[in-house]
Structures are given as structure tokens and as C-alpha cells.
A and B are shown apart, each in its own frame.
Chain A
Amino acid sequence: MKTYSLLEHTADIAIRVKAGTLKTLFKNAALAMFDIMAEKKARHAREKVLHLTVQADSVEDLLVQWLNDLLSLSSAKALICSRIKIESMSSQALKAKVFARGISAYRLHTEIKAVTYHELSIRRRGSLWTGKVVFDV
């Protein structure tokens, strides 16, 4: 089941992500970003494990920073993130284990330049968390 949907935006790509917890929302947003970027083609590519720590002033900023750090890591190391385990998280910091494969194991679709603050939102209604993020492509 898709955990995100694409929203209309003239020049860029906007997504809405849903999850039952804030932790899962962050994980789903990251996996959505990589799903837009690439599609797996090789079955048996080895996974690398990376450790990421992110800090920010607010939960919204944390989302942007988390996604931008993943994006920058992916671009610098030529990796696509395949799985994520968020080990600990508050509204201003998170620690995650990121599993990633080399880009040669993927068919690359879209270059995401960055994650923006434009129309950024995180909302909770009962047990449903939703987030909106706009990517510059």
C-alpha cells in the first residue's frame, strides 16, 4: 500500500504522507522521497548500513533536515535508501539506522535537488499523522 500521494504543483513535486505515529511519518516521508527518485532493478544488491543523527529547532524543521540529510548523503555516496529504522526520536532530534544500496541497483527517475520549507506541514488528528513536503526537482 502506498503511504504517500502526489499533490499538484506546477514546477516541483509535492507529497502528502500518512502514518500512525510521528516516527513512522518520518520513515514514510523518506521512503516516499526515494520511491520518487528511483526504482529497484537488481534483486541481490548488498545493503550498506549508515547511522544518521539529526537535530533541529522544531518538528517541521526536523523533517526538512532529516530528508535533506538523507538526500545529500545519497547524492554524495551514490546510494539509494532502501530501509530505515528510526532508533530514537523527539520533536527536535532523531537517530536512525539507514540501509542503502548503490545506485547501480536502481533505475533512476527523478533528480530531487532539495527538500523545501514551502507549504511544509505536520498535523495530527487522533491517531493519524499527516505531513506535506515540497521537493525542488
Chain B
Amino acid sequence: MSEMRECSLEKIDDYRFRIPRSYKPGMRVPGIVYADEKLLKDIRQDKAVEQVANVAFLPGIVNASLAMPDIHWGYGFCIGGVAATDIEAGGVISPGGVGYDINCGVRLLKTEFEYEEIKDKVRELTLALFSDIPSGVGSKGDIKVSAREEKEILLKGSAWAVAKGWGTDEDLACTEERGAIAGADPSVISERAYERGKAQSGTLGSGNHFLEVQVIDQLYDRAACDALGLRTGQVMVMIHSGSRGFGYQVCEEYVRSMVRCLDKYGINVPDRQLACAPVDSPEGKAYLAAMRCAANYAWANRQCLMHLTRCVFERVFSMSWQKMGMELIYDVAHNIAKIETHIVDGKEKKLCIHRKGATRAFPPGHPALPPQYKQIGQPVIIPGDMGRNSYLLAGTHKAAETFYSTCHGAGRLKSRTAAARSINVNVLLKDLESKGIIVKASGRATIVEEAPQVYKDVNDVVDVVHNAGISKRVCRMRPLGVIKG
């Protein structure tokens, strides 16, 4: 990138690098990038580091503008960023710090199947999942909701789906915020957002969203795996989706209104996509209420997707999902802003934590965790690419330094245009099949754009967060059947 300045990153230790405040006048705090020397080479290729520095301009930001090792160039905020603002000190909330896909997130469920038991059925299962789970650009599902019901989704989140019989109370216990964050206010939602959301409940979407049948190929923490009932060779299902058109509309409308807040509140940021307003301002409160509606929409969506998945398994294996042991391990957001209490300079502070392409990772004993996870810490789900691995991690006490946040995936390495130039879809599909991976997608372009080689190796990313101590490895999965939008 010719216009990019060479950023002098200061090495703190093997896994942390500092962008000093002197890098750019206006930075209120330094930037800290979690990476090793290998990942840093890739990170320096685009403008992500510059974006970490830009986030440090936000009024009220505390400690540092943080970047996880899967960081890459986004718009406004980098993807893989964490920013905490002190609400009492006039700290801001930025819709761009959450992103358009509000509460894009992941859920992981287990089965009691061994790979050996189902290996001859993986193709049939993948085709059945592809046929029954609506996916692709602008996909619409069979779940049609009335305007009154849509309002209920915005308030109740996953519990709306559970009340319909599409899940259990145990599912809610294993979902961040029990699948519905308090403070959602449907009255701040525009007609257009309702219209966009109406037909998209229970749909996967496109791009990097997916549903994967996976198998555990490596255990790292025996005690945690025992507590979770996980073993090598066990078949798992991972679902990655978000708030669909509903969330995009909410974010777009609030970015638009907050661009005007920059003048109103005298806020100076180097990129207008960082538009923001004080959390305690009328604009900040309205955005939070709307964002929470979209977050609840996304949790309901993933609950519906899990229900559809359980139904497909029941049909393919002629067994109830309960008998197949299809229990939810956890569901966690990785595009969200949350009001949380953390210790800053020895004092308890109410902070607005933006996690944009970053995952909450609460430590053992945290009060927000369900009883079964009090010992091991919060399950953290890290999706990789369709050809390599995905991970289950757990939260740690050391992650206090990142406001209990960690990475969210592998992180993109190559652009879509570069992928289209260099990857042949037939060669790719053959290569994946030779590794025992079956891929079904609505469009062939998506397969190319999401090819393993356009991502960083998730193993490298997880090595950094594990070695830096901001979460720890529990087990690793590899894909068997992949559904892409």
C-alpha cells in the first residue's frame, strides 16, 4: 500500500506489539496488537494497523485500542478490534465499532456420534442440510413472522424460538445473555428494518457465514473436555450467522445519524466510519436500544438454524435429536457492544466494550456463566476456514488485560479479487474432497472467495491467543461437510 506509512510497532513481548501514541497526533491511548512475528508480516500488508491507531482517537477510550491476531483491514474499525470506553468520562459508542452484521456470532453443538459411525452418510447429511437450511444472497426462509411477532423476536431473542418449540431452556442457558440482551426497544426500529427482517429469520445468509459438520481431531485440555463431554472423533456442528438484513439496516441508519453527531459533540476522528456519540447521549442510547434489538434477532436466528439442523439430523438418522445428544455447547457473539464492569487503574468502571470481530471470553467463576461452565471458563468458539480447523477455547483470568476478549476466527489474508484471479473452483473442490471435506454452496464464486488460502491459518492465530494467555485451547475440530451461502 503506497499511501501507508511504515508503522513502527514496539515489541512488548513475543505476542504483543505496541503502536505508540506518538504514531499519530490525536491518539488518546496506544494501540496493542496481539500477534507473533509471523502473523505480523501479514498484518502489515494492509491498513489494519492504521485502523487500530484511528480507533485510539475515540473519546473516553481506556487502556489501549486492542487488536487480536486475526486482525485485518475493515472499514473504520479494523476487523479483530476491541475498544473500551469509560461511560462516566463521556465515553462514546460507535455503530461502526460493532459493524453492519450486528451480533454476527457462532454456536457449537455436539452429537454423540463417532466419525466412524457416520462417515458413509456425510454426503447425504451435507446435501440434506443444504436443501433444508435457507442460504445464499438475500435468502428467505420458511419461517414467516408477522409484524407483532417480529417485535417479540426483538425483545425475547432465542426464547421466542424456544417458546415455539424450537429448542429448550438448556439451549438458552448455553447462549450468551440467554439469547436476549435486556434494553432492546422495538420503538426505535424503522419500518424499513422491520421489512428487511421479516422474511430472513432462520436463514444462514452468504459470504463467510456457514454451517459445518465437524469432527474433533485434537484435545488440549482433558479436564475441560471431560466437563463438556467431548472426546476425539466426536461429530460436532458449528453455525456462523448474524442478524441478516435487519442488522445491516439498523447499523446503516445509526452510522448515518452519528456522522452528524461528530459536529454536535465536537468529536474528532480520522475516518467518518468511526462516527460515534457519547453512550449517555440521546443518540447513543437510541443506538444501544436498536443494536440490542438486532442482537436478539441474531440469537433467535441462530436458534432457528440450530432447530432446522436438528430436524435434518433426525430425518437422516431416523432418531430424535435428544437421542443423538445434540446439545448446545455455547453460542457467542463476535460483533457487538456490551456495557460491562471492569477494573481500570485499580477502580471499578462501567465500560462500553466494542468487540468487532472479537469474542467475549469470561474467566472461570464469572457470574455471567451458567453453573456448568463456572469451573472451566466461558466456551469461546473460533471458526476457521473450510479446509483446515476450527477451535473451542475457554476464557482465562489473564484476559482481564483485553477486557475479557479474544480472537474470532482465522482472519482474511487475501482480497476477493485476488482469490478470483488465482483460484480454480474445480481444483479447489477436488482438493477439499481428497481431504474428506464436502462443500455445498449457493454460488461457485462464494467457494472461491472463501477458499482456505484466502485466510490466515487459524492454528497460528489460536497459538497466539493461547500463548499470550487471553484464552486457552480446549479442543480442535476439522470440517467434514460445509454449507456456504
Contact = CB atoms under 8 A, between A and B. Distances in A.
Interface of A: 6, 8-13, 37-38, 57, 61, 64-65, 68, 72, 75-76, 78, 103, 107-111, 113-120, 134, 136-137
Interface centre among A64, A78, A114 (most CB of B within 10 A): A114
Interface in B256-277: 256, 259-260, 271-273, 275
Interface string B222-262: 00000000000000000000000100110110011001100
Interface stretch (B27-35, B70-78, B156-164, B307-315): B70-78
Contact of A76 (B137, B195, B251): B195
Interface string B293-325: 000000000000000000000000000000000
Given A11-B73, A108-B138, A114-B251, A136 B100 contact: yes
Contacts of A76: 192, 195-196, 245
A8 B206 CA distance: 21
Contacts of B76: 116-118
6 contacts: A11-B415, A72-B249, A76-B192, A76-B195, A117-B76, A117-B259
A13 B416 contact: yes
A72 B75 contact: no
Q: Pick the 4 closest A-B CB pairs, nearest first.
A: A118-B75, A108-B137, A116-B75, A117-B272
B4 interface: no
Contacts of A6: 417
A108 B443 contact: yes
B252 A9 contact: no
Main secondary structure of the interface of B (DSSP, over half): mixed
B137 A12 contact: no
A137 B252 contact: no
Given A75-B138, A109-B443, A114-B100, A10 B417 contact: no
Contacts of B414: 10
B256 A110 contact: no
Contact of A117 (B99, B137, B248, B273): B273
A113 B79 CA distance: 15
A11 B273 contact: no
A114 B251 CA distance: 9
Contacts of B97: none
B50 to A, nearest CB: 11
A106 to B, nearest CB: 10
B46 interface: yes
A108 B136 contact: yes
Contact of A37 (B45, B75, B137): B137
Given A10-B73, A76-B192, A120-B272, 16 more contacts: A6-B417, A8-B418, A9-B73, A10-B414, A72-B192, A78-B138, A108-B443, A110-B207, A111-B138, A113-B248, A114-B100, A114-B252, A117-B76, A117-B271, A118-B271, A137-B207
A109 B252 contact: no
Contact of A11 (B136, B245, B412): B412
Interface centre among A38, A57, A110 (most CB of B within 10 A): A110
Contacts of B48: 10
B427 to A, nearest CB: 21
Given A113-B101, A117-B255, A136 B137 contact: no
Given A117-B255, A117-B275, A120-B272, A111 B206 contact: yes
Given A114-B252, A116-B273, A118-B75, A103 B138 contact: yes
Interface in B63-87: 72-76, 79
Given A6-B417, A113-B100, A136 B192 contact: no
Contacts of A8: 415, 417-418
A132 to B, nearest CB: 12
Contacts of A13: 416
B202 to A, nearest CB: 17
B174 interface: no
A23 B45 CA distance: 36
B412 A10 contact: yes
A10 B442 CA distance: 23
Given A65-B256, A72-B196, A137-B416, A111 B445 contact: no
A58 to B, nearest CB: 10
A17 B36 CA distance: 38
Contacts of B481: none
Given A9-B415, A57-B260, A75-B245, A111 B75 contact: no
Interface centre among A10, A103, A109, A119 (most CB of B within 10 A): A10
B485 A111 contact: yes
B413 interface: yes
Contacts of B72: 10-11
Interface string B105-120: 0000000000000000
A39 to B, nearest CB: 10
A108 B417 CA distance: 17
Given A57-B260, A75-B196, A109 B137 contact: yes
Contacts of A120: 272
B205 interface: yes
A18 B51 CA distance: 27
A118 B273 contact: yes
Interface centre among A12, A68, A113, A120 (most CB of B within 10 A): A113
A2 to B, nearest CB: 14
